[in-house]
Structure 1
Amino acid sequence: ELAAKIAGYAPGDLNRVFFTSGGGEAVESAWKLAKNYFKLTGKPGKHKVISRAIAYHGTTQGALSITGLPGLKAPFEPLVPSTFRVPNTNAYRASEITGGFLDGSDPEAFGRWAADQIAVAIENEGADTVAAVFLEPVQNAGGCFPPPPGYFQRVREICDQYDVLLVSDEVICAYGRLGHMFGAERYGYQPDIITSAKGLTSGYSPLGAMIASDRVYEPFAHGTETFLHGYTFGGHPVSTAVALKNMEIFEDEKINEGVREREGAFRSTLEKLLDLPIVGDVRGDGFFYGIELVKDKATKETFDEDESERLLRGFLSKALYDAGLYCRADDRGDPVIQLSPPLVCGQEHFDEIEQKLRSVLTEAAGLL
């Protein structure tokens, strides 16, 4: 019943649901499925994966290999080979990312450029060796990078051109975080596989899901072919019961509709913080936002490693917690504060978030 409900939410013909025990396992499953799929369809050399710089995809061996954060990977190397990184979509840092070619003032041009780097990577590696591209609808690590206009549409074209599977990693973005059940729906693109977890049960019980298209499932539907993969607690009856009830609440209380109605107010409230000298950028969508902190607002100069350590872990993390604001102060990339409030929040909560941030960030700026 839960699988049917998830498939009903998923865009296009993503009708095949494989349950895991969490998000990293869903990513691991997706990579294994992609490789298995191409072996069964006569292209056994297609096994490589492309993902984005700074992106986080999980801690298991395969998912960590796909992750674009060298510091997280170093203690466990060598990891699974055959993963490659392309630039992310941080428009605030577009000039740095493109080597001065674009400055981010034309989001569509930046999105086209960023998507085209995937084609360059596929060409460099050889299209007959690349199985999948793993992308989050809004990239989490680095501080909430939304896709520029047209980005995912161009990525879809590239994947079709080179026969590469598009995996939408929605472990964070699915189930209401962006005001839709899936981020792919919000941004209007069709993935071949979706990975999800977290919001599937609203965190009350561990459960992940990999959702595959009928096309990807088709080679396994004949004869004795089997996807030889599974997890001890994948599809656990308690977790699936929790998820099913959670989905019912989403429908009954119109959770997604509420996020879409209030996301503009959330954005405009957070953007008030742009008057602070330490706040360089406010970005995100739905109820998922990052606030990038800068040393010099005019030049976008960021903090060095020691300054970032003192700012984030030496002050901000504790100060924000003590102020009653539970959020993430993160420097996987440039220093940011990330916000993902409960999906039922309203203006009174947005105002409280802004006021607490304003107070703490003002104090932080005075310490620098």
Structure 2
Amino acid sequence: MPPKLIRITTVPLSLEKLLEGQLSFMNDHYEVTAVSAEKARLDRYGRDNRVKTFHVEMTRAITPLKDMKAVLKLYRFLKKENPLIVHTHTPKAGIVGMLAAKMAGVPVRLHTVAGMPLMETTGTKRKILEQVEKFTYSLATRIYPNSRGLKEIILKEGFVEEQKLKILGKGSSNGIDTEYFDPRRYSEEDKTALRKEWKITEADLVFIFIGRLVSEKGINELVSAFNELQLKHPDVSLLLVGPFEEELDPLSPSTLKLIENHPKIITTDYQIDVRPFLAISDVLAFPSYREGFPNVVMQAGAMRIPSIVSDINGCNEIISNEINGLIIPAKSGKSLYTTMEKLVTDVELRKILSQNSREMICEHYERKEFWEILLKEYKTLEQEISKN
């Protein structure tokens, strides 16, 4: 029997998107179980990806009593299963999974850091999240920041000693499938039909955003900048692909009103397959306040779409300014407007950035190569355990 590998995320969406295909690949080398909340969706994920599942209810908010219940349920499961490796992703899954794994005596306890919500919080909540982060890292045997910038933040904040940290490959949690995200899959006829379906005229230059429609993703600034831009340049559209999350990080009322009423702002809600929307777009506008190593920027690049991104970790590692995209200061609506207008008016620059985009992603972030890097890491740790 192969050794057991437990992979944990707070919600199944992270398994579906953040780790797409990865657990199925690892299932050829380990007996893999995916652990997450939302039982029905988790069960469907298990069937679709041919991996075992175990349901543990977790929340993305601070909920100590529910969290302790989750730890105890997971601890009992790990004691029964006796896995070699527990590997967690996302903050809540990290603290729950690492604590349960430590209590259960799991020898290899790994946590990937793909972003830190605490970076956009202050006061008591910030202090609580800092302590949770430190405690999570102390329980793990190795920590994988998925970008150089995140590693620097972790060291600067003093969350853990450097010898516990390792970046896999060039960064990312899963790389990008450049065969799947390939613009050649969409003909001109396909794109014309898609634009017609979403009521986008052929003449329009399309800015696209993909992700949660929340304040910390820079949506307030993006919608405001676009509204101003469209008054001056009528032939532009903004495509917002993703769900609203009013309960956690709501947009301003003025932004919501513009999204609802602006004839050139199109919303699609959550989409399993974002490729059709990338295929009919010209520029990714991604003015996020914080990221780990954003998949959407890699996806856009693979689809030959240049990006406007904030000067934050992850984004400024995937994008090289004026080579495959443009980098702007975070939280600057003025810079965002100026840069969006630049790509509307400077057709030659847009063409150059587009030509470079796919090549840079294929060179550095091919998904199958990342899987092999992670598998090698697992096998190395496995050998170290067998020697002891």
Please give the range of the TM-score, normalised by the shorter of the 2 chains.
Answer: 0.3 to 0.5
Does 1 or 2 have the higher relative contact order (CA < 8 Å, sep 6+)? 1
Normalized per residue, which structure has more helix? 2
TM normalised by structure 2 equals 0.34
